[in-house]
Amino acid sequence: MGLLLTEKVSPVIAMVLVPFVGALIAGFDLTQIKEFYLDGTTSVIQIVVMFIFAILFFGIMGDAGVFKPLIDGLIKLTRGNVISVAVGTVLISVVAQLDGAGATTFLLVVPALLPLYQRLKMNPYMLFLLLAASAGITNMLPWGGPLARVATVLGADVEVIYRPLIAVQVIGITLTIIMAVILGMREKRRIIAEHGALVVGGHGFGLDADDEEVSANRGKFWVNVAIFVAAMVVLFANLLPPAFVFMLGTAVALMVNYRTPKEQLACINANAGGAIMMATIILAAGVFLGTLKGSGMLDAISQDLVNVLPAALLPNLHYVTGFLGVPLELVLSTDAYYFGLFPVVEQITSDVGVDPAKSGYAVMIGSIVGTFVSPFSPALWMGLGLANLSMGKHIRYSFFWIWGLSLAIMLCTWAIGVI
């Protein structure tokens, strides 16, 4: 985490060498470390494949001008109003996350909204902050991973334990919209200070002349739109694996937009740089997670965090864990948090009379907003790769806003009796 935040080395170096050296120091031999590597890379290989072909697919769609009418429409709808764009980001992210898949949320939201942020000179890290908060809150759905993990630990029906969380989601989205307004006002002041004035309606902050060149693919615009819509329908209908959807979409898009193999390879080369770079990072993250999980380090971290707490805190351990939920997202994977730490917390608190469900709510609500501020999230790495942004800068920009939002949601849910 220190190396990722300070950016002293590349993420690949941090996530490959640190766990390797750590495993050697902990006494594991090369045969065991090989198993950690295989388990870790196997767990992310489909994400890597999806990421590479998604980058190529969205790059071709962008070159074909598929997203330009959407951005122009959003500019017109918001009249270049920074606050409206910030609030719109929250609402779009909530809708995009309804399928419970973080990867598709980033694939849908980032390519659509990033050009708008760029045209209005808005900070792209604010897009990721608002997207992360909105998607995290929406991810409390019954088919989302966190609630399913809580239900698994409690041995409860996920639909039953979800019902009280509907009010929590309403509160969380409302607070996120308020946060978006505050951030939008701050961003508006920054833009005025740095650029002199806000010029709306696409003037001043519009595209440069070079960006407005007529695309050679303009005549195929509606064909490309049909390809994009078809890919999204198949993706959200879960008819094929996401990686295969983008493979097929990329192949069809290349065939439609570029006549010769030479042109097709040139297009791949033009869009492949960011894809390959982020694919290496995701594979490195797989090695990192595989080593920490396979070696038992994550379980040990979870248990030791509980063991060092004063005995007086034990009856309120679910509150303490929820309070520290966002910081814990930086050092624990989702599985380590819910299957390593939460069972220990639940056992201790239930022994002193705390309702296990309330313990589960506190632990989940405290951390879930921080899901996409964690380097353990492959979907976040993918989203940052789409925007060519830094994980360390994202964490520094978003962390305290996300933690504050998490605590505000916890306080509100405590007030209405959910926890």
291-330: pLDDT as tens digits = 888 888 877 776 776 677 777 777 788 888 888 888 888 8
Query: How many other C-beta atoms are found inside a 10 Å radius of the C-beta of residue 287?
Result: 23
What average pLDDT does the segment 93-115 reach? 78
Report which residue type is found at 375. P
Q: What is the rounded average pLDDT of the residues 110-134? A: 88
In this predicted structure, the answer to whether residue 366 has a pLDDT above a threshold of 80 is: yes
Per-residue 3-state assignment (H helix, E strand, C coil) for the chain:
CHHHHHCCCCHHHHHHHHHHHHHHHCCCCHHHHHHHHHHHHHHHHHHHHHHHHHHHHHHHHHHCCCCHHHHHHHHHHHCCCHHHHHHHHHHHHHHHHHHCCHHHHHHHHHHHHHHHHHHCCCCHHHHHHHHHHHHHHHCCCCCCHHHHHHHHHHCCCHHHHHCCHHHHHHHHHHHHHHHHHHHHHHHHHHHHHHHCCCCCCCCCCCCCHHHHCCCCCHHHHHHHHHHHHHHHHHHHCCCCCHHHHHHHHHHHHHHHHCCCHHHHHHHHHHHHHHHHHHHHHHHHHHHHHHHHHHCCHHHHHHHHHHHCCCHHHHHHHHHHHHHCHHHHHCCCCHHHHHHHHHHHHHHHHHHCCCCHHHHHHHHHHHHHCCHHHCCCCHHHHHHHHHHCCCHHHHHHHHHHHHHHHHHHHHHHHHHCCCC
| pLDDT of 217 | 47
Gap between the Cα atoms of 131 and 87, Å rounded: 11
pLDDT over 70 at 352, yes or no: yes
Lowest mean pLDDT of 157-171, 298-312, 393-407, name the range: 298-312
- In this predicted model, which residue has the larger pLDDT, 6 or 178? 178
Tell me what percent of the residues of the chain surpass a pLDDT of 70: 86
Alpha-carbon distance 245 to 56, whole Å?
12
The most confident of the ranges 106-115, 253-262, 326-335 is 253-262
Q: Is the pLDDT of residue 133 over 70?
A: yes
User: Which residues are CB-contacts of 133 (< 8 A; sequence separation ≥ 6)?
Assistant: 90, 176, 179, 369, 401, 402, 405
Task: State the average pLDDT over residues 111-134.
Answer: 88
Q: Which of 21-25, 152-156, 413-417 has the lowest mean pLDDT?
A: 152-156
274 pLDDT more than 80? no
The per-residue pLDDT for 161 is 80
Q: CB under 8 Å to 257, separation ≥6 — which residues? A: 60, 63, 64, 217, 220, 224, 267
Residue 212: what pLDDT?
Answer: 43
Q: For residue 38, name the pLDDT band (cuts at 50, 70, 90).
A: very high
- pLDDT band at 213; cut points 50, 70, 90: very low
Where residue 405 falls among pLDDT bands split at 50, 70, 90?
Answer: very high
Task: Please give the residue that has the higher pLDDT: either 348 or 173.
Answer: 173
- The mean of the pLDDT values for the chain is 81
Which amino acid does the sequence have at 238?
N
- Compute the average pLDDT of residues 144-167: 77
pLDDT score, position 313: 77
216 band by pLDDT with thresholds 50, 70 and 90: very low
Query: What is the pLDDT confidence band of residue 200, given thresholds at 50, 70 and 90?
Result: low
Least confident of 33-37, 152-156, 164-168: 152-156
Q: Which residue has the higher pLDDT, 217 or 123?
A: 123
Specify the pTM: 0.67
Q: Would you say residue 211 has pLDDT above 50?
A: no
Q: Which residues contact 236 (CB under 8 A, 6 or more apart)?
A: 99, 104
Sign of the four-CA dihedral 130, 327, 172, 235: positive
Rounded Cα distance, 343 and 154, in Å: 8
Using alpha carbons, list the distances in angstroms from residue 229 to 67, 99, 224, 241. Answer: 12, 17, 9, 16
Report the pLDDT averaged over residues 49-73. 76
Mean pLDDT of 31-37: 92
1-15, 23-37, 58-72: which is most confident: 23-37
Model confidence at 207: pLDDT above 50:
no
- Give the length of the chain: 419
Confidence of residue 7 (pLDDT cuts 50, 70, 90): low
What is the pLDDT averaged over residues 141-150? 74
